Amino acid sequence: MSLDSDSKKISLYQFEPLDEGNYQEWQTRMIWKLEELELEEHIDPSVSPPMQDEKTKWATWSKEDRRAMRTIGGHLSSINVAKIAECKTALEIWKLLQSEYCIQGSMGNFHIWTRLRTTTLEEGSDLATTQAFLDEHRKLRSQAAANNWTVPDDILAMSILSGLPASWSPWIEATTSHYHLLNKPLTSKDMSEGILQRSRTLLVLNDEAQAKGDGEGKVMKISGGNTASGGRPRCSHCMKVGHTQATCWKLNGEPDWVKAKKDWKQQSDKSAPVYNLSTNTDLQDVWMVSSKEQSDSDTI
C-alpha cells in the first residue's frame, strides 16, 4: 500500500514508518495525521459505520475508510503491510497493530512516566531543539491518554521545567515563585511559551554579543543569564541589563513608590516639573530612592 496523493498534499506531519520499537510515537503521530485529514472516527471503536442499506452514506463512509486505510498503510514498514493484508477496515488495521505493539496497562504507563522524567534539554540548544523538547512532552501526554492515563497538566509543566538545563535554574525559580505569589497554577502551555520566548531572547543576545565582541572574548555571558559584560547584573527573567530578578518589574510588579509617582504626576499642575518616565529598563535598580529625592536633572 502507498500513501494516497491527497495525504501527501495535505499532511503537515511527516514521520518514520511503524517498525519495532517506535509504536508509541507512531501511534500518536498517526492520530494527529488522521485528525488533520478528518478521518479519526474510522479508528474509533465507539463510532459505528452507517447501515449498508443507506447507500449514499455507506458509499461515502466506505470511500473515507479506504482513504484512512491507505493513510495508515503508507506509514508502515514492509513487514507490517504484509500483516494487515487481510484487514477490511481502518479500525481492523488499528486494532491489529495495537494488539501487536502496544504496551498497555501499568507497564505502558511506567514507560511513559520514565520517558517524561528523562527527556531533557541540553545546554546551548537552538530554537528548533527546544521546540522538539516541548513537542516530546506533548507527545508523551498523548500516548498516556491513549493508554487511559491522564497526566495532570501541572505535573506535565513540572516535568518540562525539570528537564531544562542547569543554567535555567534562576529563571525556573523566578517563574515558579511568580506563579506562587499570584496564586496561579503552573500550566504546560504557559511554561512552553515562556521557554520559547526566553530561548529567542538568548539567541538574540548571543548574536549581539558576538557582533560586539572586542576580539578578547569579552562577550556577554548568557548561558546562566546572570551577568553581562562589564560585570553589570542581568535579570534572569526578562534578560535585560541593569537589574536582577529581585527587582524586575515585569516579574514583581512596579514598586509602590513608582505607582505613587505616577499618581502624583497625574494630579500635578502642568506647569510643575515633569519627569520623563520613558521605559528604560536599565534603571530599575538605579531608582532605589523615592521620587522626592529625584532632581530635575535625572535621566530616566
Domain layout of the chain by residue ranges = 5-101, 256-293
Determine the pLDDT at residue 76: 92
Overall residue count recorded for the chain in this entry: 300
Mean pLDDT, contiguous 10-residue spans, the chain (300 residues): 42 71 83 91 90 92 96 91 92 88 73 86 89 88 81 90 90 86 87 90 76 48 45 69 71 63 51 38 34 40
- Residue 136 has a pLDDT of 86
pLDDT of residue 146: 74
Cell of 113: 512516566
Cell of 151: 497526566
C-alpha distances out from residue 242 to 110, 161, 228, 232, 249, Å = 46, 26, 9, 6, 12
Q: How far apart are CA 224 and CA 171, in angstroms?
A: 9
Q: What is the pLDDT of residue 288?
A: 35
Whose CA is closest to 74, among 20, 21, 13, 24?
A: 13
Q: Output the pTM of the full model.
A: 0.44
Q: Kindly give the interhelix angle for 105-118 and 127-146, rounded to the nearest 10 degrees.
A: 160
Say what angle helices 23-36 and 90-101 make with each other, to 10 degrees: 160
Q: What pLDDT, on the 0 to 100 scale, is given for residue 277?
A: 35
What pLDDT is recorded for position 20? Answer: 65
